[in-house]
Chain A
Amino acid sequence: MTRRAPWRTGLLVLAGIVLALGIVLPFAFALSASLQTESQLIKRPPPLVAMPPTIDNYRYVFTGEVPQAYAQRALLRGSVTQDARVLPKGLRNSTIVAVGTVLVNLILGTFAAYTFARVRFRGRQVAFTFILASRLLPTMAVAIPIYEILRRLDLLDSKLGLIAIYSAFTLPFTIWVLTMYFRSLPPEMEEAARVDGCTRFGALRYVALPLAAPGLAAVAAFSFLFSYSEFPFALFTTSTTNAKTIPVMVSSISVNPDASYTLVAVGIVLSIFAPILFALVFRRYITRGLVASLTRS
């Protein structure tokens, strides 16, 4: 490629900046809103930068200490909703559910995928197709039946119940990606391991698994992000802080007309903290995994 004309570079950089701003500004605003008091925020237009920033809102959420600003103006007191106090519990629930889903995916999914990739057995194709096809079913259709099933199993309003559902939703993708990944490994190394003395399981443990680490990372990331963000089913099946995940809590605060916006903002920030962290750490695996899986439809 010939050297690009400088004005073109300038244009591209400009576009890049616009893109970056378009992505970052909403986050920045939410963050900034969470660091302000209600009176600072409710202005036309609302300030972008918090001056001065205050962590009172966070303090309230985590310790129950009502921010100074609100204590003074009784009018605003009502907007300091108790709902916000349970956000930390929501964080805990979401994390547990997400981690649980990841574990189920990694364990069950890995075994099944390795089998699909390496073992020839009767009905293999049928089982594989069944698993993949299950993703095509619409969410709403299965919402009520799943509620019923959970109820019968006494898993309503439980983190375990959520882990079970989310696993059912994420396993097909996991197995698809991992099967492809295992298949792409040259079989010689596993054969060498078996001649060297490994059982099939040993070959998986010592050779295939370490080499499939990137695939496993991608799968873990997807499962985590899915479970953390999932909303409809968490909404339908949870009712107390025992199991309510953070999206459910944040959304209920936000539809509460009395809730202070700053607290809503805190809710947002808390709810996006873990996924963003995960996405940043695992981004390479996510992008590679996305591409690899979706290009092999």
Chain B
Amino acid sequence: MNLVPFPLLAVATSHLLHLSGIDALIILIYFCFVLGIGFYLKRFTKTSEDFFLAGRSMTAWIAGLSFLSANLGSLELMGWAGATYQYGILAAHWYWIGAVPAMLLLGMIMMPFYYISKTHSVPGYLQLRFGNKSRTLAAITFGVMTILMSGINMFAMALVMKVVLGWNLDISIWVSSLTVATYVVFGGLLSAIFNEVLQFMLIWLGALVIPILGLTEAGGWSGMVKRIHEQFPATDYTHLWSPLSSFSANPMGIHWTGIVFGLGCVLAMGYWTTDFLVVQRVLSAKDLRAAKMAPIIGAFFKMLVPIIVILPGLLALAVLPIKLVPENAAVAGAHTYNEVLPLMLARYAGPGLLGLGITALIAGFMSGMAGNVSAFSTVWTYDIYRPLLKPNAADTHYVTVGRWSTLIGVLVSIGAAYLCMQFKSIMDYVQALFSFFIAPLFGTVLLGMLWKRATNAGGFWGLLAGIGSSIGMYAWVKINPAAIKYIALSDHAQDMAENMYRALWSWVICVAVTIILSYATKPRPAEELTGLVRSCTPIPTEGHYPLMQRPSFWAVIVILIFLILNFIFR
């Protein structure tokens, strides 16, 4: 074992970090461990319920941490740390108002319908509520986009490993993705969830060192704020709401209405309540109370994630002796915003801790990818293969299809990663494509659950109109950049602001079309909507649980903490 220290912040060399023998050993142990979990759990996944929904036996804690971990990819960690260096604490909106209310909506309002209807997926719920056309539209778009996104993330992660560690792109892509494929093929969702909880712990343990040591060096929170103000007197990096009073008062070029309505009320609600990647984890809960508690537990930890993502970005503003630059302005020897987290790791972590930090990044990537492929495999098997290709096969047949579709999904993702390597602009287009579906799907599912008058035709055409209008607005701005003042209400709007407002308008169009067409068509009888719509479904009460075990009690606690955090950092 090589314990000889290596130079860790090597600006002059071709990559940022050098691993020692002990770091390599820590990473190797991680790979062996996750594969071992997959092998061990294979014997417990015999039926399709086991493979696709982990036997619906997970506790609220495990489902909740897995729900959060599937979203906590390494690109998210590094990307938002970089965004914090660029935009300041405004980036925390994506963890607080851009997540917490949506998670509570999922847990308290929407989860009972997903759970009581016994659906296996979000497209499956659409089939029960709005018929086959809506299900097929949602399933195909979700399946294609999930696999492409997985490939993009894979390529981006390999690129990061090349820049930070000098690792070969091909080796990074194949080793990490085949490891994920192996443990998901063996143990299905059960294995994905077990590994996600492990990865959640490792992400925290690997990343928490940076804010602890960073705050120690900067002299606590007040010392950090003082240093930032001294170094960047012209820009407000440390307030969450006060710079949002006008479009031009903050570096994002966004108004508070975009954050509250575009991000908080539409985009976040859409992602956290209808993206099957995260909803699938909650569906694995052992009973309705656990299913309601899981997103609440997730919301609590989501509020804490800024400690390991936003705080390192702010600390970098305070303590790094170099100035980072945007991606498009990078020159030789300069470091970009996205390198904030590795740079901070290099500043504080020696051999051993560095290996743990890199393991955290790899764990983040693998948890995100496992989430993608396990969700893809479920939607492919239940919502495309079974209804359209082979409706009446034995249960074991669908488990086999699930295993094969996991493997094929990973291979297609690898293909997409190599496609990105050749044509980098594909990344931008596919990420935009994914955003087209989220907001309208939320409109359709929400109306489906809360409004019994919504009809099959209204649901399908509303969804299609929302997706179409989102694509139309995106194309309009691409063809004529001046159109951004109509979409995002300001000439100052940046890409993020445009996304917020485009989501808001496409949701409004989806809802409007659904309502108009529903009034023009014949509604379904109320008895067909039992278990699917709020006013037609008796929801089990929580009254018989002690106060401390009631989801509504913990939801109130989370709301209070959320409000206090927003007030403190206003």
Q: Do A and B come from one complex?
A: no
Chain B residues within CB distance 8 Å of chain A: none
Chain A residues within CB distance 8 Å of chain B: none
